[in-house]
Amino acid sequence: MNFQGREMGRLDGKVAMITGAGSGMGREATHAFVREGARVVAVDVNPTAVHETVASLQGQALAATADVTREADVAVCVKTAVDHFGKLDVLYNNAGIFDEADESVLTTTDAIWDRTMAINVKGLAFCCKHGIPELIRAGGGSVINIASFVALVGCTVPQDAYTASKGAVIALTKSLAVQFGPKGIRSNAICPGPIETPLMRDLLKDENKKRVRLNRIPMGRFGHADDVVSLAIYLASDESSWTNGAALVVDGGITSNYF
């Protein structure tokens, strides 16, 4: 990738930390943020995957291996961002899981509940705990939390641990928006519909499950990672300077579909 002589990007001068950057939306976000001029600390629990993410980015992105459920790991990643790039402007809390055995509250196991909430909620909270003070030191910034459309509507194919975790993400985002807005920190949640990531493709190997979900989307297709990342770029940029506490839906219309 050639960064010489390029036009100014929407994120020029900004430093971002992106979790779950080893694949899917996190990998797409890392590349898109760099294209827009940001420098990125790309974080993932899989060291091979995250190093592959940054391999072509010519020093504009740095790979960091961490388990977001371990507070000490998160603290090191934030410190790495500041030590290497001098500051932190954007937290993109993308890391999350959905266990294919996550079903109804009647059947979902304790282990699935604990792992889902630990990664999707507590891990995000740790990133905010250690990252937001650095955003404040930088003079303000943006927290972008990935929630889900399932936090906004009920589902006849339940995934209750995941749904509850993403509802918690929206609630926490609004609390952050009120707490830290006066300090120049914008906190917003993105609520994607079904996105074609490796995780989703594995889930929808069952053609019946795939058809049921696809039939609910008025646009007639699953989302792509860049559908979400494009919104994240807006939220990371100064264009969103008065967007705070929002839960922004990117779902092809699925949450508007009554039948």
- If you ran DSSP here, which 8-state letter would residue 16 be given? E
Who wins on pLDDT, 193 or 1? 193
Beta strands in the chain (DSSP E): 15-19, 39-44, 61-65, 90-93, 141-146, 185-192, 247-250
Residue-level pLDDT at 1: 46
- Report whether pLDDT(152) > 70: yes
How large is the average pLDDT for residues 224-233? 97
Residues in Cβ contact with 144 at an 8 Å cutoff, skipping those fewer than 6 apart: 90, 91, 92, 93, 188, 189, 190, 232, 235, 236
- Report whether pLDDT(210) > 60: yes
CA 173 from centre of chain:
12
Short-list 167, 168, 140, 28, CA closest to 94:
28
Strands 247-250 and 185-192: parallel
- Tell me if residue 92 is catalytic: no
State whether residue 184 is helix, strand or coil.
coil
Q: Which domains does the chain have, with CATH numbers?
A: 15-253 (3.40.50.720)
Short-list 258, 200, 184, 192, CA closest to 226:
192
Given the residues 92, 162, 234, 258, the one annotated as active site: 162
pTM of structure = 0.94
Categorise residue 250: left if φ over 0, alpha if ψ from -120 to 50, beta otherwise. Answer: beta
Residue-level pLDDT at 7: 74
Categorise residue 146: left if φ over 0, alpha if ψ from -120 to 50, beta otherwise. Answer: beta
> pLDDT-derived band of residue 199, with 50, 70 and 90 as boundaries?
low
> pLDDT-derived band of residue 107, with 50, 70 and 90 as boundaries?
very high
